[in-house]
């Protein structure tokens, strides 16, 4: 069985300051992990993915995430938030036994203050 816990339902940051979105996972196998972003009234867009290569993964729009097996975490960060980063973010895990059955976290809503 696999599951994902996003530790913050809502994060508020000022423009130009760092963003940290926390994600913990559980998996019976070597997991693949993903972060997706959803802007209002839009579908989800893949930000980045970890599939057992480098533990520090760089994604689009300046985001990156670090896979820490010992902590079962896959936190998403960005050094400097932009107004366009206001959106909902989902952490997703696949346990590798069945790529078709992904488990989604409940989501973190990011607000960016001017």
State the residues that interact with another protein by CB under 8 A: 4, 9, 32, 34, 36, 41-46, 49, 90, 92, 94, 99-102, 104-107
To another protein, the closest distance from the beta carbon of 50 in angstroms equals 11
Cross-strand bridge partners of residue 64:
58, 77
**d(Cα 47, Cα 99) in Å, to the nearest integer?**
18
Interacting residues of 74 by C-beta distance below 8 A, sequence separation 6+:
23, 24, 25, 33, 35, 50, 65, 66, 67, 68, 91
Q: Which CB, 22 or 49, lies closer to another protein? A: 49
To another protein, the closest distance from the beta carbon of 110 in angstroms equals 15
To another protein, the closest distance from the beta carbon of 1 in angstroms equals 12
β-pairing, 10-14 vs 108-113, is: parallel
To another protein, the closest distance from the beta carbon of 43 in angstroms equals 3
Q: Which CB, 15 or 49, lies closer to another protein? A: 49
Write phi, then psi, for 53 (nearest 5 degrees): -100, -130
Q: Which CB, 15 or 102, lies closer to another protein? A: 102
């Amino acid at each position: 069985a696999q599951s994902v816990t996003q530790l913050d339902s809502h994060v508020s940051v000022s423009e130009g300051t760092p963003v940290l979105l926390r994600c913990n996972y559980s998996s019976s196998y070597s997991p693949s992990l993903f972060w997706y972003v959803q802007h209002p009234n839009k579908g989800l867009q893949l930000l980045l993915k970890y599939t057992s290569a480098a533990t520090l993964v760089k994604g689009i729009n300046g985001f990156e995430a670090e896979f820490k097996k010992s902590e079962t975490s896959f936190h998403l960060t960005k050094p400097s938030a932009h107004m366009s980063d206001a959106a909902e973010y989902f952490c997703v895990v696949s346990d590798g036994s069945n790529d078709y059955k992904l488990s989604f976290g409940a989501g973190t809503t990011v607000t960016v203050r001017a």
